Amino acid sequence: MQQKHRWRPVILTALALCTIPLTLVYTDFAISNQPQPEQYEAPIKLPRVSVLSLQSGTYQSRIESYAEVRATDEVQLSSLVSGRVIWRSDAFRNGHRVDQGEPLLKLDSTSYQEAVANAQQTLASAELTLMQEQRQQKQARRDWQRSGIQEPASDLVLRKPQLKLAQSRVAAARLALKRAQRDLTETTIRAPFDAVVINRSATLGSYIEAGVTLATLRGSRSAEVELTLPSKQWQQLPDNLQQMEVKLRNPDHPTHQWQGQISQLSAVINPQTRQRSLTASVTKPLEQTPPLLSGSFVEVSLNGKPQNNLFAIPTTALTADGYIWTVVENRLQRHPATPLFSHTDQLYISSDNLPREIALVIKPLASYLPGMAVQAEATGVSDE
């Protein structure tokens, strides 16, 4: 009985050792024969781009720039004579308007009145001497005729040089009187044209010297703006510039607008900048609503020639390095583009080397590559 129990552990150990290989074989079989998981190919997602369908067309070129308004006429007012200021107009103040011929200052004219009187006296004396010399010349001619001498009389005998001297003195006296009267008139300093007073320096009681600047007068009859145009812009101007309307606008107040006319296109090109200057004028600027003030900074726009075969693209479609992107058969294409002109939020480019209709990428990204596959999403059609 004891011998039988002694073999039991041996038998159990042998059975355990036999089950291990069987377990390993079954596990390997189960793993090898388990069903494979189903595999699916993930779809490739193409980047989406917003495109705008465009057609080339004819557009009127537009030139836009900024300029400062300045008076057409501006003068440094000075006096031709010297003297003490005894009267000053209330309008002769900085920022005030004055009319042509309006008195601004009056100088003490006592010495100039005296000069006029002396010049009148000198002229009267010279005229008296001339009359006496004319009578003496007639008497000398009669005396020579009575003498019976057959030879011609000399000019000195006939007193011709004396008469010529007397006539010259009368002419000189008249010019001296004219100058004295002009100096007397200049003691009243008047506005040479309708203007606005700037930088006045003369005051009541001050003594002014001839030629010293008293104030700056800026004309108020017309104002002008000057634009400098590169070759690309001034070649867009029509032949008849006189019929062109120029629009001026205050950038800070877009509702403040004025109308102007082209007054001059420079006949020369600046050798440094290679540009031409274009001048536009506005008549009666201070009577406009609102007034167009000298020194204002305005936006200037004018229409040029109509141009064919252009695309009107949004400003966002042009990259910083000067390219536009289009989509052809769901692939990107890149094209160089140089705007010919712009207006508001649109750029106008030539359709050269482009088809008549394009699908324009509205907002291209820096990561785009030519030939890249994309998914185009149309946002609209533009045929303007």
pLDDT at residue 25, as a whole number: 62
CB 218 within 8 A of CB 195: yes
What is the spatial distance between Cα 149 and Cα 351, in angstroms, rounded to a whole number? 104
pLDDT value of residue 45:
81
Q: Which position has the higher pLDDT, 306 or 51? A: 51
Residue 15: which pLDDT band, with cuts at 50, 70 and 90? low
Please say if the pLDDT value at position 72 is more than 90: yes
Q: Given a cut of 70, is residue 256 above it in pLDDT?
A: yes
- Strand bridging mode 297-314 / 57-68: antiparallel
Residue 212 has pLDDT above 70, yes or no: yes
pLDDT of 110 reads 96
The residue among 18 and 344 whose pLDDT is bigger is 344
For residue 239, pLDDT beyond 90 = no
Rounded distance between C-alpha atoms, residue 248 and residue 250, angstroms: 7
Which 3-state string (H, E, C) describes the chain?
Answer: CHHHHHHHHHHHHHHHHHHHHHHHHHHHHHHHCCCCCCCCCCCCCCCEEEEEEEECEEEEEEEEEEEECEECCEEEEECCCCEEEEEECCCCCCCCEECCCCEEEEECCHHHHHHHHHHHHHHHHHHHHHHHHHHHHHHHHHHHHHHCCCCCCCCCCCCHHHHHHHHHHHHHHHHHHHHHHHHHHCCEEECCCCEEEECCCCCCCCEECCCCEEEEEEECCEEEEEEEECHHHHCCCCCCCCCCEEEEEECCEEEEEEEEEEEEECCCCCCCCCCEEEEEEEECHHHCCCCCCCCCEEEEEEEEEEEEEEEEEEHHHCCCCCEEEEEECCEEEEEECCCCEEECCEEEEECCCCCCEEEEECCCCCCCCCCCECEEEEEEEECC
Q: Is the pLDDT of residue 2 over 60?
A: no
Q: Band the pLDDT of 32: cuts 50, 70, 90.
A: low
Residue 354 has phi, psi (to 5 degrees) of -130, 150
Long-range (24+ apart) CB contacts under 8 A made by 242-247 are: 244/302, 244/303, 245/302, 245/303, 246/280, 246/300, 246/301, 246/302, 247/300, 247/301, 247/302
| 108 burial type by CB count under 10 A (0-12 exposed, 13-18 middle, 19+ buried) | middle
Query: Is the model's pLDDT at 33 over the cut of 80?
Result: no
Tell me the pLDDT band of 344, cut-offs 50, 70 and 90.
confident
Peptide bond into 290 cis (omega under 30): yes
pLDDT at 173: 97
Q: What is the pLDDT of residue 383?
A: 47
Whether residue 236 is predicted with pLDDT greater than 90 in this model: the reply is no
Question: What span, in angstroms and rounded, lies between the C-alpha atoms of 82 and 84?
Answer: 7
pLDDT at 41: 58
Residue 130 has, within 13 A of its CA and on its CB side, a CA count of 16
User: What mean pLDDT is predicted for residues 164-186?
Assistant: 96
Query: CATH fold of 50-61+307-382, please?
Result: 2.40.420
Does the predicted TM-score (pTM) go above 0.85? no
- What would be the CATH architecture of the domain defined by 74-217? Beta Barrel (2.40)
> What average pLDDT does the structure give for the chain?
87
Cβ atoms 286, 235 nearer than 8 A: no
Mean pLDDT for the stretch of residues 82-95: 95
Most confident among 108-117, 272-281, 297-306 (mean pLDDT) = 108-117
Domain topology for 64-71+222-304: Elongation Factor Tu (Ef-tu); domain 3 (2.40.30)
Q: What are the structural domain ranges in the chain?
A: 50-61+307-382, 64-71+222-304, 74-217
Asked if pLDDT for residue 27 goes beyond 70, the answer is no
Binned at pLDDT 50, 70 and 90, residue 1 comes out as very low
Q: Residue 37: its pLDDT value, please? A: 58
